[in-house]
């Protein structure tokens, strides 16, 4: 597998955490996937709530919703996932390893419990699957210098709903591990491309940056955000102000 900093170069960005707390996402302004998609799969959040963000990030999200309402009256940002403890990140990565193993017809008996440790004990199998898994998913990490974006409370996965409450066509579902997840995958003339352009516009207008590989993922002043901001501005002094919350 490629070096993780080659795959996830934003992890090299320094973090100077501002110390803001996690706060609830405004339930009166936005809508949410219910039940929570990962909790439904068995992810254990313990006492944590996935519907939390750092205070400054939550405020930026409200700004994005107000901007959306100005452009599309009655439309809502629909939150798929926000704060994600590292334990949940590990759970979801293990599920993705199992999914990718099944796609390439690995014997289910080999998978056992789907533990990432099992895959690491079989280097050939791990190498075969890891590059595809980490193409989409961030690496679970207990290192405070390399937190998964969602464990900082500064990343959000979301889509849009129209005034009737229906999700609009984005061309592919959230978390699909394929090229269709790339923000610019569809021709600009398609409805999916136009809808992706809309969500990008309202989120960037509120200060977020979009994950270059996932149309649904937006970050605000975490490592990924700072990495993109450095590329745009040429200012290599920019750091992340949100690190791991746990």
Which residues are part of the catalytic machinery? 214
Characterize 47-57 residue by residue with b for buried, 16 or more Cβ atoms within 10 angstroms of its Cβ, and e for exposed: ebebbbbbebb
With CA atoms as reference, report the closest residue to 154 among 29, 18, 39, 31: 18
3-state DSSP assignment of residue 241: coil
What lies within 8 Å, CB to CB, of 122 at 6+ separation is 110
CA distances from 7 to 36, 66, 132 (A): 28, 35, 11
The token pair that represents 207 in the structure block: 């200060």
For 171, residues 6+ apart whose C-beta sits below 8 A from its C-beta are 180, 185, 186, 190, 192, 193, 195, 196, 215
- Are the beta carbons of 220 and 210 closer than 8 angstroms? no
Q: How many CA atoms lie within 13 A of 133 on its CB side?
A: 28
Rounded distance between C-alpha atoms, residue 231 and residue 226, angstroms: 9
């Amino acid at each position: 597998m490629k070096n993780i900093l080659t795959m996830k170069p934003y992890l090299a960005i320094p973090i100077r955490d501002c110390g803001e707390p996690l706060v609830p996402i405004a339930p009166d302004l936005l809508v949410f996937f219910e039940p929570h998609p990962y909790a439904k799969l068995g992810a254990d959040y313990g006492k944590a709530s996935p519907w939390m963000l750092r205070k400054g990030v939550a405020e930026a999200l409200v700004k994005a919703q107000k901007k959306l309402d100005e452009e599309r009256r009655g439309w809502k940002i629909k939150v798929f996932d926000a704060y994600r403890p590292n334990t949940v990140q590990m759970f979801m990565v293990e599920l993705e390893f199992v999914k990718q193993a099944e796609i390439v017809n690995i014997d289910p008996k080999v998978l056992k419990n789907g533990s990432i440790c099992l895959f690491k004990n079989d280097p050939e199998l791990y190498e075969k699957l890891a590059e595809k898994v980490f193409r989409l998913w961030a690496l679970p990490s207990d290192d405070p210098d390399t937190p998964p974006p969602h464990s900082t409370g500064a990343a959000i996965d979301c889509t849009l709903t129209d005034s009737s409450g229906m999700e609009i066509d984005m061309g592919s579902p959230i978390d699909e591990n394929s090229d269709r997840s790339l923000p610019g995958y569809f021709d600009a003339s398609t409805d999916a491309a136009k809808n992706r352009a809309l969500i990008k516009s309202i989120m960037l207008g509120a200060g977020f940056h979009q994950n270059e590989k996932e149309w649904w993922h937006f970050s605000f002043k975490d490592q990924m955000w700072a990495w993109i901001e450095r590329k745009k501005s040429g200012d290599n002094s920019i750091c992340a102000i949100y690190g791991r919350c746990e």
